[in-house]
Amino acid sequence: MFVIALVVAFVLLSLVADKGATGERIVTGTVTEWRPAEYLAVANSHSGPFRVSLRKTLYERDTHDMHSGVRVTVWYRNVGERNLVADRVRVLDAATR
């Protein structure tokens, strides 16, 4: 009985601790690195480059417009893995390379 109570307590504490991490967040910045279907690294004036994984990501423009130096808005969330996961990416300008 003690083991079951311990497992339930662990699960409940994990859910409470991770509750704030499940919400979707938005960042606008400049692409510093992009690997199609793998990840996107974005930086802005508030944060250095950070990676978001690309899985089932919705792109609001053609991916041919995506390259280092282009400005994007990324909707992402924390799914409890190493990298954040992007739900949607919008290319704000399609500057030529």
| pTM, 2 dp | 0.69
CB 77 within 8 A of CB 52: no
Q: Is residue 5 part of a domain?
A: no
pLDDT band with cut points at 50, 70 and 90 for residue 31: very high
Amino acid 15: pLDDT? 61
Q: Is residue 16 part of a domain?
A: no
**Residue span of the structural domain in which 62 resides:** 22-91
CB 38 within 8 A of CB 54: yes
Question: Which position has the higher pLDDT, 83 or 19?
Answer: 83
Q: What's the total number of domains in the chain? A: 1
**pLDDT one-digit tens code per residue, 39-97:** 999 998 888 888 999 988 898 888 888 888 999 999 998 877 777 899 999 998 765 44
The domain spanning residue 49 has which CATH number? 2.40.50.140
Amino acid 17: pLDDT? 57
Virtual torsion, Cα 7, 82, 87, 14, nearest 10 deg: 20
* 8: DSSP letter: H
